[in-house]
């Protein structure tokens, strides 16, 4: 009797596991299919978040943030990008978002009658740099087509996935730099990998992870760490951007620590337009 109960229990557990696995595989198929639909119909919404000088509040550029429009099978934008990074569509997607971001920026600059001389920060997944579809000069051609200077374009390397081949990584980045593009490392300090990448490639911009910035006015240890990054950046000829600035008190500390630039909800939320109107007011409170 006991043996039969155990056998039934074992059968039920296997059935439960197989059912769960089948659901998981079906969801993966649905997610992959949705990515293909996003690519086919260009269902992307591009937002721009301003980046400003900490001392004088001058606008230096925007980070372009691309989000799928009303995703059905993804719980969040982060879920979408996490899944995308493990597929064979990452290169095609980033190619689409680069073009879309530049097109929208030029369009909005024309509407605002602005000089369109700001930096444009474009997120790049490390995996893309090793993609077999990579073709040198393609981005440069597209940038020049829209009358922009490649020195305005900053490739922001996201560090949510480890870089495994640093030789290839540096080779591709050197090629971009030769063409005039600039390089930023995102989420610096969030893990060992971002620190290693920062030291290897010596980026033009070091974007400090928001964990260093939030409530920095109440934590002396955070202030000391940010100060170390500022000192390192000065020696490496890099500029520091503090991400996740949400309060004036945080901004005050960044001014004291001589951080170069700031980005976050206090500065300006991601928007479909190029926002810069109330920055002087916020910095003068």
Asked if residue 210 and residue 174 are part of one domain, the reply reads yes
Predicted confidence at residue 117, as pLDDT, reads 81
Predicted confidence at residue 275, as pLDDT, reads 80
Q: Could you give the number of structural domains in the chain?
A: 2
CATH at 268: 3.20.20.450
Q: b/e map of 79-97 (b: 16 or more CB within 10 Å)?
A: ebbebbbebebbbbbbbbb
Asked if residue 232 and residue 170 are part of one domain, the reply reads yes
Asked if residue 65 and residue 2 are part of one domain, the reply reads no
* DSSP character at residue 209: -
Asked if residue 97 and residue 184 are part of one domain, the reply reads yes
Asked if residue 223 and residue 103 are part of one domain, the reply reads yes
Asked if residue 172 and residue 32 are part of one domain, the reply reads no
CB 189 within 8 A of CB 229: yes
pLDDT of 6 over the 50 cut: no
What is the residue range of 236's domain?
Answer: 43-283
Q: Which residue has the higher pLDDT, 115 or 119?
A: 119
Asked if residue 167 and residue 26 are part of one domain, the reply reads no
Least confident of 9-13, 60-64, 164-168, 201-205: 9-13
Mean pLDDT in residue range 265-275: 92
pLDDT of 276 over the 70 cut: no
Predicted confidence at residue 2, as pLDDT, reads 46
Residue 201: pLDDT band with limits 50, 70, 90? confident
What residues contact 179, with CB distance under 8 A and at least 6 apart? Answer: 137, 139, 140, 150
Predicted confidence at residue 159, as pLDDT, reads 61
The DSSP result for 46-106, as a single string, is: EEEEEEEETTT--EEEEEEEEEESS-SS-SSHHHHHHHHTTSTTHHHHHHHHHHHHHHHHH
- Dihedral sign for Cα atoms in the order 154, 283, 240, 45: negative
Mean pLDDT in residue range 255-271: 96
How far apart (Å, rounded) are the C-alpha atoms in residues 113 and 121? 20
pTM over 0.85: yes
Mean pLDDT in residue range 209-230: 96
The rounded Cα 186 to chain-centroid distance in angstroms is 6
Asked if residue 86 and residue 8 are part of one domain, the reply reads no
Predicted confidence at residue 231, as pLDDT, reads 97
Predicted confidence at residue 277, as pLDDT, reads 47
How far apart (Å, rounded) are the C-alpha atoms in residues 116 and 105? 8
Asked if residue 138 and residue 247 are part of one domain, the reply reads yes
pLDDT of 60 over the 60 cut: yes
pLDDT of 208 over the 90 cut: yes
Q: Which residue has the higher pLDDT, 195 or 183?
A: 183
Asked if residue 233 and residue 141 are part of one domain, the reply reads yes
CB 251 within 8 A of CB 266: yes
Asked if residue 18 and residue 49 are part of one domain, the reply reads no
Asked if residue 144 and residue 33 are part of one domain, the reply reads no
């Amino acid at each position: 009797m006991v043996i039969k109960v155990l056998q039934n229990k074992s059968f039920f557990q296997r059935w439960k596991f197989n059912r769960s696995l089948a659901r998981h595989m079906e969801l993966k198929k649905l997610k992959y299919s949705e990515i293909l639909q996003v690519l086919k119909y260009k269902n992307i919404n591009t937002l721009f978040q301003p980046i400003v000088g900490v001392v004088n509040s001058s606008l230096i550029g925007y980070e372009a943030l691309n989000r799928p429009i009303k995703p059905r099978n993804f719980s969040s934008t982060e879920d979408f990008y996490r899944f995308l990074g493990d597929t064979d569509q990452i290169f095609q997607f980033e190619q689409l978002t680069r073009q879309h971001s530049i097109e929208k920026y030029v369009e909005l600059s024309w509407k605002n009658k602005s000089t369109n001389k700001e930096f444009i920060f474009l997120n790049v997944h490390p995996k893309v740099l090793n993609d077999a579809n990579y073709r040198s000069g393609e981005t440069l051609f597209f940038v020049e087509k829209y009358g922009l200077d490649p020195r305005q374009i900053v490739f922001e390397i996201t560090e949510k996935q480890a870089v495994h081949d640093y030789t290839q990584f540096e080779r591709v980045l050197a090629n971009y730099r030769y063409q005039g593009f600039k390089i930023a490392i995102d989420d610096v300090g969030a893990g060992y990998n971002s620190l290693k990448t920062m030291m290897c490639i010596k980026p033009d911009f070091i974007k400090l992870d928001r964990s260093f910035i939030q409530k920095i006015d109440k934590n002396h240890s955070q202030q000391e760490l940010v100060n170390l990054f500022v000192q390192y950046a000065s020696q490496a000829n890099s500029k520091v951007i503090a991400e996740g600035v949400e309060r004036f008190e945080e901004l005050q500390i960044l001014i004291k620590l001589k951080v170069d630039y700031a980005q976050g909800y206090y500065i300006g939320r991601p928007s479909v337009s190029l926002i810069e109107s109330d920055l002087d007011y916020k910095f003068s409170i």
